[in-house]
Amino acid sequence: MVSVAAGLASEGKIVFVYTIIPFLIMRAYEQIRVDIGINNQNVILVGVGGGLAYDKLGSTHHSCEDIALARTIPNLNIFCPFDPQNVVDTLNKSYLLSKDKKEPSYIRLSKGGENNLENRVKLFENIFCFKSKNLSKNIILTHGSISYSILSEIDSNNIDASLICLSKINNDSIKVLVEIISNLEKESNILIIEEHYQSGGLYEALASELLPLNLKHNFSNMNLKHKYIFEIYGHKELLKKSGLDMSLIKQYFSS
């Protein structure tokens, strides 16, 4: 499917490829690397089931390493929309990137039925803030549909923290995010939460840029545990048992 899409793109078409993420990114990785990446074809990969969205189907259907794999393709734009409204925005952007710049994209979706987040403030392109445009000393950085659960936890427990959501994980967004972090109040508390392994995710992408700056902030992260999961639970319970326990957020900012 990926190779056929690349062939169509080579004839000037803008092609969308849609399927569950393990079949798309993991199984077809070589085709993505060679047919789309190396040949820079106008293909938009749309994957469903980010993180543990396909909870009860087990490790074969979980997608905990897809961002890491996608980041190794040099010219692939990676979008991780945080709600349905943002999905429309990223879909439009990926189309224009193909149409105007001949660049391929990967859009990482959850499972469907997610809620839209209210009161978003656009800080920069592909970077949004919730709760307050004026960032507090406590910052949570995240991406994808888990943003809704984080925001609900902040609201229900009256946590003094600003939530920053990225809808694109690429060098340009990371550089802007590094600038935002660099301008924060000294010794700010920054918690990075993502429904992905730490390896190759947002936390590591940021760390490689922030380490040389020797900033005095306090950094923490919550990621999926780096292991395969064989227990059968619903999504919320599976996240909790896999290292993403939203009830722990308050503890990160209590000291």
Q: Which residues contact 30 (CB under 8 A, 6 or more apart)?
A: none
Quick check: helix, strand or coil at residue 221?
strand
Q: Which residues contact 54 (CB under 8 A, 6 or more apart)?
A: 20, 61, 62, 63, 111
Lowest-pLDDT range, 8-22, 25-39, 72-86, 112-126?
Answer: 112-126
Residue 136 confidence (pLDDT): 85
Neighbours of 214 (CB within 10 A): 6
* Residue 198: pLDDT over 70: yes
Lowest-pLDDT range, 90-94, 164-168, 185-189, 198-202?
Answer: 185-189
DSSP lists the bridge partners of residue 223 as none
Alpha-carbon span 62 to 49, nearest angstrom: 7
Percent of the chain at pLDDT above 70? 99
- Residues 63-111: tens digit of each pLDDT: 999 999 999 999 999 999 999 999 999 999 999 999 999 999 999 999 9
